[in-house]
Structure 1
Amino acid sequence: MNSLPHSPDDLLALDPAAQDLLFRAAHTAHTFTDEPVTEEQIEAVHRLVRWAPTAVNGQPLRGVLVRSEQARERLLPHLSPKNQEKTRRAPLVAVLAADLDFHEELDRLVPFLPGASALFADQAVRRQVAVHNAYLQIAYLTIGVRAAGLAAGPMGGFDAPAVTKEFFPDGAHEALVVMNIGRPGPDAFHPRAPRLEFAEVFSTV
């Protein structure tokens, strides 16, 4: 009879310290220090997480990095009141959106599938694919920010049409998430809330 592993960690290729950094000890941050987040750090995160899977390699995620005070003042009125102050103080804010015309890049990104862009001629189908896959990329981006030793505070409490109009005025994008990024500050984390157990999430058929 095979014995059970000494620890569930034995079943994972990722070492326990990395598991903590990316998952167990990581929290959504609500306060940040004044330490800057550089363009080089975010580029390093992107180089890591760009390998996330997306449908037909569409990669619909687009982002605007809000650094200037002028740009931040344009953003803040569109956030819910509870999100405004922490966003004002975060070293970096990213407005993350889905490119609804992602299909225009497909013939370059999927050379092994000629005519791939034609698969998404229907606008409603294209939007659904763009939004679903951009959210998947945002999840990877959150983990990538943690891998850089930073904390992420992704938020959905904002007026999405207004933020879209402000930062993506071309009409070809849809704002999905505003993410604060930086080193966690004092009292940055709320107490860890319960998580569902395996049997509550998965069934076997």
Structure 2
Amino acid sequence: MTKQFHDNVLGGDILDQLYNEARTYNGWLDKEVSEEQIRHIYDLMKMAPTSANMQPGRFVWVTSEEGKAKLAECASEGNADKIKAAPVTVIIGYDIDFHEELPWLFPHTDAKSWFEGDEEGRKEGAFRNSALQGAYLILAARAVGLDCGPMSGYDADAVNDAFFGDDPKVKSNFICSLGYGDPSTIFERSPRPEFGKFNRMA
């Protein structure tokens, strides 16, 4: 590795917090997550790249007991309990009409025209880039000291009706609980493949 590479690498403790020692939690300690923390997560996440800065993610931060109950009704039995117990569960959604915001999000050129009249293309781009934003959200949450429990075991149509019913162009991608994870609720870490298993140089 070059000296430049060494100079730019984050410290091992930071890499452990974000990746090496971070885990997916199934249960939560009885500690609150503040709105200030939620806003901090968003402010970090929004700085990460999306195609043409399209920012298609639309987020519902479910913190109220009423909201948790409504979301839990849309989830599988095991995930319903996780949602009810978590301080926060965020619904990561995506706006199929994200291109309407491009004149100010990407003012360098007429990017809106790239997507007009192509709803299927917008769906593909919005889904892909909102998934990226969801991944950035997980790393941002870990960076501010929280733990995460992402999940996809829920009825997407039910979530869309319950939380995005007033805007049918917004659909859910996945959901993720946030809080202070209970160490007793994690499994032993599953295997991770070595570089040579799924990678090649070309």
Q: Bin the TM-score by the shorter chain.
A: over 0.9
1:202 counterpart (173, 186, 199): 199
Q: Distance in 1 between matches of 2:144 and 2:26?
A: 18
Question: In structure 1, what is the equivalent of residue 177 of structure 2?
Answer: 180
Tell me, what secondary structure is at the counterpart of 1:97? strand
| 1:128-167 alignment runs, 5 A limit | 128-167=124-163
Q: Is the 8 A contact 2:25 2:183 kept in 1?
A: no
The two structures, once aligned, show a CA RMSD in angstroms of 1.6
Cα-to-partner distance string for 1:55-102 (whole Å, 9 max, x where unaligned): 111011111111111111111111011111111100111111011111
What secondary structure, in the 3-state scheme, does the structure 2 residue paired with 1:78 have? coil
Aligned residues: 198
Q: Is residue 2:26 matched to residue 1:30?
A: yes
Deviation of 1:188 (Å)? 2.9
Q: Counterparts of 1:95 and 1:33 in 2: how far apart (Å)?
A: 21
Any runs of at least 4 consecutive aligned residues in structure 1 with deviations exceeding 4 A, and if so which? 9-12
CA–CA separation in structure 2 for the residues paired with 1:82 and 1:12: 42
User: Contact 2:71 / 2:83 at 8 angstroms: preserved in 1?
Assistant: no
How big is each residue's C-alpha offset from its partner over 1:151-183, in whole Å with a ceiling of 9 and x where there is no partner?
010100000111011100110111011111000
Letter of the structure 2 residue corresponding to residue 25 of structure 1: E
- Name structure 1 gaps, 5 residues minimum: none
Alignment partner, residue 120 of structure 1:
115
Gaps of 5+ in 2: none
* Distance in 2 of aligned mates of 1:96 and 1:70: 19
* Residues 155 and 57 of structure 1, relative CA distance in 2, 3 Å threshold: same
1:97 aligns with 2:89: no
Which TM-score applies when normalising by structure 2? 0.93
Q: Structure 1 counterpart of 2:13, which letter? A: A
- Decide whether aligned partners of structure 1 residues 194 and 10 sit closer, same or farther in structure 2, where only a CA change above 3 A counts: farther
Deviation at 1:150, TM superposition (A): 0.5
* Aligned partner of residue 33 in structure 1, secondary structure: coil
CA apart distance, 1:11: 8.1
**Aligned-pair CA distance for 1:201:** 2.0
Offset from partner CA, 1:87-125 (integer Å, 9 cap, x none): 110011111101111101001111111x21111110000
